[in-house]
Amino acid sequence: MRLQALLLSLSTALLGSCDELPAVAVGQLESDRVELVAEVNEPITGIEVMEGDLLPAAAVLITQSMSRVDSRIDQARAAVQRQTARLAELVNGPRQEVISAMRARLREAAVEKNFLARELERLTGLLARNLTSLESVDTAQMRLDSAVARLASTSAQLQELEAGSRAEAIAQARASLAEVESQLDGLMIDRKRHSISAPVPGIVDSLPFEVGERPRPGEVVAVLLTGSQPYARIFIPEPQRLTVRIGAELPVHVDGLEQTLTGTVRRISSEAAFTPYFALTERDRSRLSFVAELTLQETGTRLPEGLPVQVYFD
């Protein structure tokens, strides 16, 4: 009986020790992923990088055929040139040669009007002496009225030429020019979308397409891993959650690295998650934990993603 009681006391103590969670958080190195998608339905004409390349921001990864958009750009540039010339024509007004020609026509119309007026006066005198018919006088009057109207029309045309273009016409030409210039700017933006560039510095993780393939708009054509150093994504056991705050510095042990790194907590999940299978023993896999991300110090070389890490709490 005494032996049975001793064994029962020992097993109870062992079970109690198993229920105590170790003061350690496990996880692995990860990097933020940036997925670059195709924006146009054009074939790939060039892949300028390889998987694993370290790229600066704005580096070109993939180019797609630009023949179609270049044709539209040429049309837009021609429209801009046409509207620019039209606006210059309106601003400069009529040429002096045109104005001189209109003045000559005005003098011609005045001479004709004076001649027809004298002719009507002569025929009126003849009619008074019954030396001509009434029809000839009416014809002369009609010709004089026509000459007077032609003189007034030519004078108005000369005034219009001398006044230059209307302000409203110039405003319309400026608006038309701005419209075609805006269309050209939009096409230039579309052209840039045919070259897929890195928005931030990073490492090329994957390139799922080959030269000649035609990705659909929205399909991922490249994946970048960003940051100069991966961060540690760990699972903090619930008993240690209360002692960890944003900005806290924790020692991080990376498998295969003798140096202990200092990690600064940048994010902690507000909701608990089920601990992954590798974090606890089989018996304790249902325990809750909180996902946290730690920014690591620089080591001179970039650590590879996926390495297991451990964080031990004091």
Alpha carbons 29 and 82: distance in angstroms, whole number:
59
pLDDT at residue 245 greater than cutoff 60: yes
* Cα atoms found within 13 Å of the Cα of residue 178, Cβ hemisphere only: 6
For residue 206, give its domain range.
36-65+193-226
Domain end, chosen from 164, 187, 210, is at 187
Same domain, 166 and 253: no
CATH number at residue 40: 2.40.50.100
Same domain, 237 and 303: yes
Would you say residue 15 lies in a domain?
no
Per the CB < 8 A criterion, the answer to whether 78 and 148 are in contact is: no
Same domain, 246 and 277: yes
pLDDT attached to residue 187: 96
pLDDT single digits (tens) 169-214: 999 999 999 999 999 999 999 999 999 999 999 999 999 999 999 9
CATH number at residue 290: 2.40.30.170
Which residues make Cβ contacts (< 8 Å) with residue 185, sequence separation at least 6? none
pLDDT attached to residue 2: 40
Sign of CA dihedral 192, 193, 194, 195: positive
Same domain, 255 and 215: no
Same domain, 96 and 151: yes
Same domain, 134 and 233: no
Of the given ranges (60-74, 96-110, 177-191, 279-293), which has the lowest mean pLDDT? 279-293
Mean pLDDT confidence for 132-151: 91
Mean pLDDT confidence for 92-113: 90
Per the CB < 8 A criterion, the answer to whether 58 and 198 are in contact is: yes
Would you say residue 11 lies in a domain?
no
Would you say residue 134 lies in a domain?
yes
Would you say residue 212 lies in a domain?
yes
Same domain, 239 and 278: yes
Same domain, 79 and 50: no
Element of type H or E holding 44: strand 44-47
Same domain, 204 and 124: no
Mean pLDDT confidence for 246-261: 92
Using a 10 angstrom Cβ sphere, with 0-12 exposed, 13-18 middle and 19 or more buried, the burial of residue 27 is: buried
Would you say residue 12 lies in a domain?
no
Per the CB < 8 A criterion, the answer to whether 101 and 82 are in contact is: no
Same domain, 238 and 308: yes
Residue 275 confidence class, pLDDT cut points 50, 70, 90: low
Higher-confidence residue: 299 or 107?
107
pLDDT at residue 286 greater than cutoff 80: no
pLDDT at residue 75 greater than cutoff 70: yes
pLDDT attached to residue 12: 39
Using a 10 angstrom Cβ sphere, with 0-12 exposed, 13-18 middle and 19 or more buried, the burial of residue 143 is: middle
Would you say residue 307 lies in a domain?
yes
Would you say residue 177 lies in a domain?
yes
Same domain, 182 and 92: yes
- Compute the mean pLDDT over every residue in the chain, rounded to the nearest whole number: 86
Of the given ranges (191-195, 251-255, 276-280), which has the lowest mean pLDDT? 276-280
pLDDT attached to residue 218: 94
Specify the number of domains making up the chain: 3
Centre a 10 Å sphere on the Cβ of residue 240 and count the other Cβ atoms it contains: 18
pLDDT attached to residue 278: 56
Same domain, 246 and 261: yes
Full-model pTM: 0.65
pLDDT at residue 228 greater than cutoff 80: yes
Would you say residue 208 lies in a domain?
yes
pLDDT at residue 280 greater than cutoff 70: no
